[in-house]
Amino acid sequence: MNYNRVVCFDLEMCCWNVDGVGTTGEIIEVGLAEIDLEKGAIVKRAQYYVRPEKDDISEFCTELTGITPRTIRKQGRPLADIIQSMIKNFGGPNKIYAAWGRDDLILREECKNKGLEIPFKEFVNLATLYRIQNRVKNKRIGHRAAQEAKGIEWEGRQHSGYVDAYNLAKLALVLL
Per-residue model confidence as pLDDT tens digits over 25-52: 999 999 999 999 999 999 999 999 999 9
Residues in Cβ contact with 113 at an 8 Å cutoff, skipping those fewer than 6 apart: none
For residue 13, is it left (φ>0), alpha (ψ between -120 and 50) or beta?
Answer: beta
Domains of the chain: 2-175 (3.30.420.10)
Please write the tens of the pLDDT for every residue from 143-161.
999 999 999 999 999 999 9
Percent of the chain with pLDDT over 90: 93
Q: Which stretches in the chain have pLDDT values below 50?
A: none
Give pLDDT, residue 20: 82
Give pLDDT, residue 52: 98
Residues in Cβ contact with 83 at an 8 Å cutoff, skipping those fewer than 6 apart: 111, 116, 117, 119
pTM: 0.96
Give pLDDT, residue 49: 98
